[in-house]
Structure 1
């Protein structure tokens, strides 16, 4: 299938090799979110730190996720100054959330936020994410929560966002959606994939109306510690995911 995204002039000759590699991976992340049906028209956002610069990349607000390319990503600094763009603005709520995570957590290089049906459903449940299966146990005692404050346009919310995230790499934004962050684009995607899957499972289980069996606390924590030893996860899957995208439409690399 040919790429039919709006034409955005290539910035390949305007950025470093390291930045271009991040741009390609981040564009791939957007395409994967669209592929798996986690997008929300032009809302929600994924960011990545620009190597060697005090800046990060964010999606152009106005393009759908299956239209985003490496060149169309917007480079912005932490004072909300656009440094390089393809003619589209950024989502200001996205700036608030991602500038908070990337400035407050120097150990992570990428962050993702979604409004999926299952993610929003669990975000509205008082008990939050339940330890229903191995996918959810990965996040046991390693998942943060942030109460809803309205559309994230108030920059004062950044302090509370990063405070609630703490040292974790995944957070449920109550009555809102999901957020993950990682040491790489691949780890952030992997965390989001399994957090989303855990939420889908929970909605399915609760909708069945059957009595649920939950593992005991000792088993939950033991399993989470096993996942800690494997971390960061996602690196092994990432090349295959890029191959998948190349088969569907390699236009994200432009």
Structure 2
């Protein structure tokens, strides 16, 4: 059995980097607890404060093995910047680097392959306004067609163009991603998207006609959500509760 190297970066990195490592590691553990992970694949990245340096998971580790100390520091080219004993999956960082490169507000990018987001992204009509949870991703959503495994650098420009100013990107035949100015906000955006996709899959399985939310209500929610759901009054408020949950589940992520 392969024993993971036991790393301890606490008190060896700046305080703001350590806090970001705690938040990001917690995000990985929470994603695992909700069943959103995909063995050792998919990634969640976070930008270090004031730098073009990023934290991402080590290639070969499951989400429930991620800790604050074993996150790997890389640049936009996916080159490892510290003396970590771990490597990263360069192909896995392609999508993240494309977004971090052009979106200053994308301090955290969550890209996952859940069954429900794969299904909904692949439906011809995509995500539909049939539940309250869908209102939040629908306020700023985009789509990027599948081009195969993310190993072609030329795809980055097309992905960037398709994303535009959206904070949610559906990836037909593939999955989806959310981004945010903090780990907490990106996480809550993913939670809303995931729940909306689950509801849509369940609703469609009934085979019954659905009642869509009216367009004018969607416009109203776009205004409301900035006040009560995301940002300083939403994702920022929700995240401490999620962080406490991560500690209750298994505090080893904070090492």
Shorter chain as normaliser: what TM range? over 0.9
**1:162 — aligned with what?**
160
Whole-angstrom distance in 1 between the partners of 2:139 and 2:245: 33
Residues 169-206 of structure 1: CA distance to partner in whole angstroms, max 9, x if unpaired?
11101111010000100000000000000000000000
2:77 pairs with 76, 79, 82, which one? 79
Whole-angstrom distance in 2 between the partners of 1:79 and 1:66: 26
**1:188 — aligned with what?**
186
1:121 pairs with 98, 119, 122, which one? 119
Q: 1:8 to 1:117 in 2, by over 3 A?
A: same
Question: What secondary structure, in the 3-state scheme, does the structure 1 residue paired with 2:138 have?
Answer: coil
Unpaired runs of 5+ in structure 2? none
Residue 225 (structure 1) shift: 2.2
Does the Cα contact within 8 Å between 2:137 and 2:189 map onto a contact in 1?
A: no
Does the Cα contact within 8 Å between 1:75 and 1:85 map onto a contact in 2?
A: no
Of the structure 1 ranges 28-37 and 237-246, higher mean CA displacement relative to structure 2 is found in 237-246
Residue 51 (structure 1) shift: 1.5
1:217 aligns with 2:215: yes
Q: 1:174 to 1:85 in 2, by over 3 A?
A: farther
Residue 80 (structure 1) shift: 2.5
Taking structure 1 as the reference length, the TM-score comes to 0.94
1:58 aligns with 2:72: no
2:42 pairs with 25, 38, 44, which one? 44
Taking structure 2 as the reference length, the TM-score comes to 0.94
Whole-angstrom distance in 2 between the partners of 1:139 and 1:47: 20
Residue 7 (structure 1) shift: 3.5
Does the Cα contact within 8 Å between 1:56 and 1:76 map onto a contact in 2?
A: yes
Where in structure 1 do 4 or more consecutive aligned residues deviate above 4 Å? none
CA RMSD of aligned residues (A): 1.4
Instruction: For 1:1-254, list aligned pairs within 5 A.
Output: 6-84=4-82, 86-230=84-228, 231-232=230-231, 233-254=234-255
Q: 1:45 to 1:210 in 2, by over 3 A?
A: same
Unpaired runs of 5+ in structure 1? none
Of the structure 1 ranges 225-234 and 155-164, higher mean CA displacement relative to structure 2 is found in 225-234
Does the Cα contact within 8 Å between 1:72 and 1:85 map onto a contact in 2?
A: no
State the aligned residue count. 250
Whole-angstrom distance in 2 between the partners of 1:51 and 1:138: 27
Whole-angstrom distance in 2 between the partners of 1:239 and 1:148: 35
Whole-angstrom distance in 2 between the partners of 1:54 and 1:145: 26
Residue 13 (structure 1) shift: 4.0
Question: What secondary structure, in the 3-state scheme, does the structure 2 residue paired with 1:102 have?
Answer: helix
Whole-angstrom distance in 1 between the partners of 2:117 and 2:45: 19
Does the Cα contact within 8 Å between 1:76 and 1:83 map onto a contact in 2?
A: yes
